[in-house]
Every structure is written in structure tokens, then in C-alpha cells.
Amino acid sequence: MYPTLLRSLAFACLFPVILFSCKKTKEQPAPPPPPPTGDRLVIIPWDQSNLYAFDAANGNVKWIFSGAPIFGTPIIQDSVVYVGSMDGRVYALHVSDGTQKWRSAVTSNGSMFLANPLIKNGVVYIGDYGGKCHAYRASDGAALWTFSVPSPYNNINTTPILNGNTIYFASYDGKIYALDAATGAYKWATASTGNPITSGMSLVNGVIYVGASPKLYAFDATTGSTKWVTPFPVYTTYDSSPTVDNNTVYIGGSDGLMHAFNSADGSVKWSKTAGPGTIMSSPVLKNGNIYIGAADGKIYAFKSANGDQVWVNGDAGSNMNLYSGPVVSEKAVYSGTLEGKVIAMDPLTGATKWIATVAGARFQAAPCVITYEGTVYYPGLSGDMQ
């Protein structure tokens, strides 16, 4: 009897365990997808109209800011887009959706902003088309100081550069002005080039490089004294901005040539044709290549060492001049056109990845590109090579 009872008890004790083990295991939720990586947005202004943000993966429009006419390339810092407007204000926008964070007061002279801004140390620096240099607090747009260029021919439409406690502006009076970055107090000005400076500046190793008519100039960044002027070509207008690296200054000219000059003395290293007509866009150096847009509506890639052509892409449109400088990320080369197109290309082969078209638009300024990781890529201005 007892063995039978013990066996029954043992079976009864095991039975719940058996029932439990037969129950279906609860399914675990699928792990979340990994966060996206790579290029996120291509942000570019329609000259005299809206600011567009395109999906960098496929060219779809993500958002549009239509609160003011925008001309210059924006800058991005800490998920905020800063850009000057033709209504005489600076705008700060949220990079996620293009909504306004703040806008500055209108400039006292009512002049429009055509230049690209610079943001450093929590301050936005920008010049207006009436010859005033401005500094705004990046957090709320409060005006910090204003400096007036002492010349009747004083328009500013190029990007400022900062070196230590000195901010530099180039003006249509042919001079570069050095100001105290904290107060806007005048320090010095270079000798005039004799013609308006429409080229951006590059500052590398204590030297400011800038193009004008008819030469490329190098100035001492401490004193403003002239270090050298290019002897060749005899006459070339520079609306392109210089990019400097490896003792070489790269810049496009009105002669349709992509030039490489020795940064020590201005002597020519090489010059290569990039289509007929004036090169308006600024070169970008990356991966041993120089990328630039040309007057024939094509994007060129040259070997930086010798100027040999790597590839050319003509898918952007007709032979209308490309004012928009290319921007080069790790994934693509981006550029806008005057025909309302934004194009993304493979940086190694030049193959077209996508083209976005906005009917009636003119993309004259260069774009800026932000990645999901927060890295920002700019055109080759102010000596900042990406």
C-alpha cells in the first residue's frame, strides 16, 4: 500500500511541473532597429526664396522654411541652423523640422544678408550688403556689436573667418578688415587690391589667402601686410574661394581653369581646364581629389597632386554655370544648380545617386550637409576643408 501511495504522491507532485513546462513560452519583443547612420539632410537655399532640406538618402523634401528669402549657405551647430536673410535678419531654425527658434532684429541700415555666416564660441558673425559687420549671440540672436566699413564701396558678401580673438571680413573696397572678435573694435586693414573682393578667404598657418581681380593674394594674418601676389595668370577674376592644404592653394578662375598655386610664393603648380567660362563655385579637397563645379554645368574631380581629371558628371542639367560649390561627405558629393536641381554623386566615380528638382527654383548657394551622427559638411570656404 505504501509504495503505491508514494508513487501516486510523487506523480501528483510532478504533474504541475509537467503542465507548466507544456505552456507556450511568451514571445520576446523584437529588438529595435539600429539607429540610422550616414548623411541625413542636404540643406540649401533657393536664391531669393525658401530654404530646403532634402533627405540625403533619396532627395525627398523633408522640410521647407519659407519665413524669409534666403540667399547664402547656412551653418549648423548643436542641431540649430543659422542663416542670414535678404530681409536683413539672421534666423535660427531647428534642424529637425525647420521651425524658427529665433530671428534677429533688422539691421540698422536695412541691408540684406547675402554672405554666409560663421559661428564660433557661441557667436554668429556675418557681414551685410551695406558694409556692416555684425556679431549676434547664438543662443537668442541678441546683437553684440556692429562695425561699419569706412568706405562708400563697402558691400560684404563673403564668409568671415576667426583666428584667436580676431575676426576678419573682406569688403568691396578691396580690403580685408581685422576686428576684435569680442567688441568689434578696429585693428587694421590690408592694402586695397584695387578691386572688389568677392572671393571667400582662407586662413592657414597665419596667412590669409583671397582671390580678387586680377590676382590671388596672400596677407599676413597678424599685421595685414602683403606677402605675395600671383604673377600668373596676368588677369583673372576670382569669384571662387581658395582652399588650402599641403602647401597648395586651390582656386577656380574666370579663365575656366582650376588653379593650384604654391602657398609659399604664389607660383603655379598646375592649371587644368574645367569647362569654358568663369568658375563661380569653390573647390573642396577630400580623399586626394579636388571637386569643383564649372561654367558648363558639370562637376569635376581632379587629382590634387597633379590636376589629372578623375571624373566629370554632367547629369545636373544643361551648360548653365554652377554657382553652387560642391559639398563632399564620406558618402556623396552634393551640388545645386540654377535650374532648380540638387544632385548627389558618388565621390569616387562621379556616378549620379539621385537628382531632386524644384520647379522654378534657383540653387545658387552651396548646400551644407548634416549626418545622423551630427557631423556637418560645408563648401570649401574660409580654409575649412569639411
pLDDT in tens, 52-69: 999 999 999 999 999 889
Q: Span 225-246, mean pLDDT?
A: 89
pLDDT category at 313 given cuts 50, 70, 90 is very high
3-state SS, the chain, equals: CHHHHHHHHHHHHHHHHHHHHHCCCCCCCCCCCCCCCCEEEEEEECCCEEEEEEECCCCCEEEEEEEEEECCCCEEECCEEEEEECCCCEEEEECCCCCEEEECCCCCCCCCCCCCCEEECCEEEEECCCCEEEEEECCCCCEEEEEECCCCCCCCCCCCEEECCEEEEECCCCCEEEEECCCCCEEEECCCCCCCCCCCEEEECCEEEEECCCCEEEEECCCCCEEEECCCCCCCCCCCCCEEECCEEEEECCCCEEEEEECCCCCEEEEEECCCCCCCCCCEEECCEEEEECCCCCEEEEECCCCCEEEEECCCCCCCCCCCCCEECCCCEEEECCCCEEEEECCCCCCEEEEEECCCCCCCCCCEEEECCCCEECCCCECCCC
pLDDT at residue 36, as a whole number:
85
Dmax (CA) for the chain in angstroms is 120
Query: What is the C-alpha to C-alpha distance for residues 249 and 233, in angstroms, rounded to an integer?
Result: 14
Scanning the structure block, which residue is given the C-alpha cell 550616414? 38
pLDDT category at 233 given cuts 50, 70, 90 is confident
Q: Span 34-52, mean pLDDT?
A: 92
pLDDT, tens only, 273-302: 998 888 988 999 998 999 999 988 999 999
- The answer to whether the CB of 71 falls within 8 A of the CB of 114 is yes
pLDDT at residue 23, as a whole number:
54
Q: Which CATH architecture has domain 68-189?
A: Beta Barrel (2.40)
pLDDT at residue 12, as a whole number:
43
Q: Span 97-104, mean pLDDT?
A: 97
List the grid coordinates of 286. Answer: 577630400
pLDDT, tens only, 83-100: 999 999 999 999 999 999
The sheet with strand 166-170 has its strands ordered as 161-163, 166-170, 176-180, 186-189
**Domain coordinates in residue numbering, the chain:** 68-189, 194-386
- As assigned by CATH, the class of the 194-386 domain is mainly beta
Residues 191, 194, 199: CA angle, nearest 5 degrees = 90
List the grid coordinates of 297. Answer: 554645368
Q: Which of 58, 93, 90 is nearest to 76 (CA)?
A: 93
pLDDT at residue 160, as a whole number:
94
List the grid coordinates of 379. Answer: 563648401
Asked whether residue 102 carries a pLDDT value surpassing 90, the answer given is yes
Asked if residue 242 has a cis previous peptide bond (ω within 30° of 0), the answer is no
- The answer to whether the CB of 151 falls within 8 A of the CB of 193 is no
pLDDT at residue 26, as a whole number:
67
pLDDT, tens only, 128-175: 999 999 999 999 999 999 999 999 889 998 899 999 999 999 999 999
pLDDT category at 192 given cuts 50, 70, 90 is very high
Out of 1-15, 78-92, 368-382, the most confident range is 78-92
Residues 289, 369, 197: CA angle, nearest 5 degrees = 70
277 to 96, 110, 131, 143, 298: CA distances (angstroms): 39, 34, 29, 41, 12
List the grid coordinates of 144. Answer: 553684440
List the grid coordinates of 221. Answer: 594674418
Query: What is the C-alpha to C-alpha distance for residues 56 and 62, in angstroms, rounded to an integer?
Result: 10
Q: Span 312-320, mean pLDDT?
A: 81
pLDDT at residue 13, as a whole number:
45
- The answer to whether the CB of 371 falls within 8 A of the CB of 379 is no
pLDDT at residue 380, as a whole number:
64
Instruction: Name residues whose C-beta falls within 8 Å of residue 55's C-beta, 6 or more positions apart in sequence.
Output: 40, 41, 42, 61, 62
List the grid coordinates of 216. Answer: 590671388
Scanning the structure block, which residue is given the C-alpha cell 599685421? 223
Query: What is the C-alpha to C-alpha distance for residues 182 and 179, in angstroms, rounded to an integer?
Result: 9
pLDDT, tens only, 349-364: 999 999 999 999 999 9
Q: What is the pTM of this model?
A: 0.89
